[in-house]
Amino acid sequence: MTTVRVALLGCGVVGSEVAAALAPGSASLRELEERVGVDLELVGIGVRDVDAPRPGAVDRALLTDDTSGLVSRADVVVELMGGMEPARSLILDALRQGASVVTANKALLAAQGPALHTAAAGSGVAVHYEAAVAGAVPIIAPLRVSLAGDRVTRVLGIVNGTTNYVLDAMDTSGAELADALASAQDLGYAEADPTADVDGYDAAAKAVLLARLAFHAAVPLDAVHREGIMGVTAADVASARQEGMVIKLLAIAERCPEAPGADGHEAGHGGHPEGLQVRVHPALVPRTHPLAGVREAFNAVFVEADAAGELMFYGRGAGGAPTSSAVLGDLVAAVRDHLDERPARSRAGGADLPVCAISAARTRYHVRLDVADRPGVLATVAEVFAEHGVSIETVRQHAKRDGEESPVSNEPAEGAVLAVTTHEAREGDLAATVARLAELDAVAAVASVLRVEGV
């Protein structure tokens, strides 16, 4: 019987689960072998420290720190080390020698995806990466295969479990962000250094992968507009609640009607008729939208397509066992690739849609203003919105309550709070409106500006 040799790079949170599933003689290995119809041999597990403690199900005899030697002995390589190097070089070595690769490394894929896919295509093999976006949630295959015959118009994702956990805790408890983040760290939902999550870097890398698959477009990581959650306050969450909404960190990739140049100016007639917008930021989402029900550290990706309409993929976005489910699914696909010796199905991603600047985005906004509590202020504020072509949908005003602090100075408050929700407007027009509002005598401070999505 044919034997397919599998090399595993990494034996951490995810790798140790995969190592256990592929352990020689295990029931899970037998089941996988039945599914692919051949024997699978785990030829080694690449790690930094072969003497470090490992879970009991890991076969220590397979551990090695000679990762290059390990790759050279494999038909399929599963990369679960993370980081840029040596993961990038090892994956390229594997692809050049004709081994298909499975990886969960979103950071590497976002930065180097086209180069990896080109190398794979050159050898007639593929890079599989279902676990790189939303962990166990199958979203890569639906976008790459199931929806390949449709025209996707928009993808909205909650793709970072840590930030969703923190924002959900703020929504349910009324806590400030620092307290919600500290309790997420205590419970293991957030890292000691949460920067990659709370500043939106992790979600931006996943947004690149979603955009590439949904729109067949090459999107550089630095073209993603990125805002994290650190500016979200308990007052923002409370204001969203009063509007019947909840705040989520969203990764959004959508078609925009016209493609502006990199400087934000619209393209001329010779320009592309349509562009692509990729952005990551906190946004208000109506509680009636399916994404609003994504609680705690769960992930979901909401897809809008011309023929299919609206679809949502939901599940656990991280953790060793859920992520290993996606990795093992990819392993089955990679083994089948190897056995079929089919030509490459990977593609570098066409560059047919230019990326629009954030100033061209069109969405709704929720603007909270700290204003003087006197007659005429509302009219003055409304006039500024109108002057800039931004149409107001609702306005809510309340006098500041006893003890309520100014959002800027933290002084005990006087005056009123105006919460304005707009109809759809162009980001550039909204930014000009906010700049003008900040100059008004009647406006003590622009407390916050948040986008509203999913309306």
**If binding is defined by CB under 6 A, does position 323 make contact with ligand NAP?**
yes
> φ and ψ at 5, to 5 degrees?
-90, 125
Stretch that binds ligand NAP, among 12-20, 362-370, 377-385, 392-400 (CB under 6 A): 12-20
Cα–Cα distance measured from residue 392 to residue 418, given in angstroms and rounded to the nearest whole number: 12
Of 80 and 245, nearer to ligand NAP (C-beta) is 80
Q: Count CB atoms within 10 A of the CB of residue 356.
A: 31
Stretch that binds ligand NAP, among 27-35, 79-87, 269-277, 392-400 (CB under 6 A): 79-87
**If binding is defined by CB under 6 A, does position 67 make contact with ligand NAP?**
yes
Among 100, 105, 239, 324, binds ligand NAP (CB under 6 A): 105
**If binding is defined by CB under 6 A, does position 275 make contact with ligand NAP?**
no
**If binding is defined by CB under 6 A, does position 290 make contact with ligand NAP?**
no
Dihedral (Cα; 133, 134, 139, 144), 10-degree rounding? 0
User: Residue 47's closest CA among 28, 25, 70?
Assistant: 70
**If binding is defined by CB under 6 A, does position 80 make contact with ligand NAP?**
yes
Q: Count CB atoms within 10 A of the CB of residue 141.
A: 16
Of 6 and 246, nearer to ligand NAP (C-beta) is 6
Stretch that binds ligand NAP, among 22-30, 34-42, 74-82, 344-352 (CB under 6 A): 74-82
Q: Is 400 a catalytic residue?
A: no
Kind and range of the H or E element at 375? Answer: none
DSSP 3-state of 245: strand
Residues 32-61 binding ligand NAP (CB under 6 A) are: 46-49, 52
**If binding is defined by CB under 6 A, does position 81 make contact with ligand NAP?**
yes
Say if residues 307 and 151 touch (Cβ distance below 8 Å): yes
Of 104 and 369, nearer to ligand NAP (C-beta) is 104
Q: How far is CA 359 from the centre of its chain?
A: 21
Among 6, 7, 8, 10, binds ligand NAP (CB under 6 A): 10
DSSP string for 151-178: -EEEEEEE--HHHHHHHHHHHHH---HH
**If binding is defined by CB under 6 A, does position 318 make contact with ligand NAP?**
yes
Cα–Cα distance measured from residue 108 to residue 132, given in angstroms and rounded to the nearest whole number: 10
- Residues lying near ligand NAP in the complex (CB under 6 A) are found at 10-15, 46-49, 52, 67, 80-82, 86, 104-106, 131, 135, 318-319, 323
